[in-house]
Amino acid sequence: MAMMEMLREAKSQIIRKLSYLSEGVYFVSPEELGEQQYYKREMYQFPREPNYLNENINTVTDLILYVRSSFFRPRMGDLRVREGEMIWHFNRTGPETICANKGNCGGISSMLAYVLKDNYEEVGFIAFTDQVGGHVFNYIKHRDKYYFIDLLNYLYASKSMEHSSTMIYQADSLQTYADYYRKKAKKDIKMMVSYSGEQVLPIGRYHEEPLMFLPEGSRYQVLYESPQEGIVVREKKAYKCPEPLNNCASIVQHDRISNSEG
């Protein structure tokens, strides 16, 4: 028995060494966040019903299986509301995204947070802006470690469906991973923040400027700013926040949340 324990420990150390990426950062399998509980043939029968998914999907592994089994499709764009020269970017909520079965990075990140919010110590978001746009993905705190997943990369139609982009990353802290991500990113990231919650926060931006305005009073952690360029996170009262569609029937009926979505 002692020999088996030694072999398991040796195997664990080898895997850990091979998965090393940077100081305090490793890539891991989805099973680190819980084993698969369903077969794909069972997932085919799952309804696009938010409460049902929240109650029956309890691990990242099964949520990945669901978005692939349901043929969830990536969709560009968000809901944009103009306030003078500023444009506020809003995303679908988790339930709206589930019913629509398609979405952009904000929608699918909110979907993950909605479905898995009760299964881990903390579920939240990493959001950043660069010179031309922005992106958001999820983090999960589990057993005092932080895990990072971009669920958009697991979709069948995603251009990012490759081994390196479907890894789940583990880090000692949010800041440790943010530093690693900025160094490996091919984009010139100007600002990066993290926050927990069930819904991606709206972001205010000026055209072709990397400034990020968050709703006044939001709770977040600044992970990176560019003060030497005058680019720092700012707050502003969110303008005309749209009411979420309140049931799947209305979401299906209004496939586009509004004519201004793009």
Complete DSSP assignment for 10-49: HHHHHHHHHTEEETTEEEE-GGGG----S-HHHHTT--S-
Residue 257: what pLDDT? 41
Q: Check whether 245 has a pLDDT greater than 60.
A: no
H/E run at residue 192: strand 191-196
pLDDT at 261 exceeding the cut of 80: no
Average of per-residue pLDDT across 4-32: 75
φ/ψ (deg, to 5) at 85: -85, -10
pTM: 0.86
pLDDT in tens, 162-176: 444 457 999 999 999
Q: What residues have CB less than 8 Å from 3, skipping those under 6 apart?
A: none
Q: How far apart are CA 137 and CA 109, in angstroms?
A: 6
More confident residue, 262 or 206: 206
Q: How many Å is the Cα radius of gyration of the chain?
A: 19
Tokens 């349901």 belong to residue: 70
Does position 239 have pLDDT exceeding 50, yes or no?
Answer: yes
- Average pLDDT of 215-230? 92
pLDDT of 252 reads: 57
State the alpha helices, DSSP H only, in 117-236.
Answer: 174-184
Q: Where are the domains of the chain?
A: 31-244
Dihedral (CA of 38, 44, 48, 52) sign: negative
CATH architecture, range 31-244: Roll (3.10)
Sheet harboring 134-142: ordered strands across? 20-22, 25-28, 168-171, 145-149, 134-142, 122-129, 191-196, 221-224
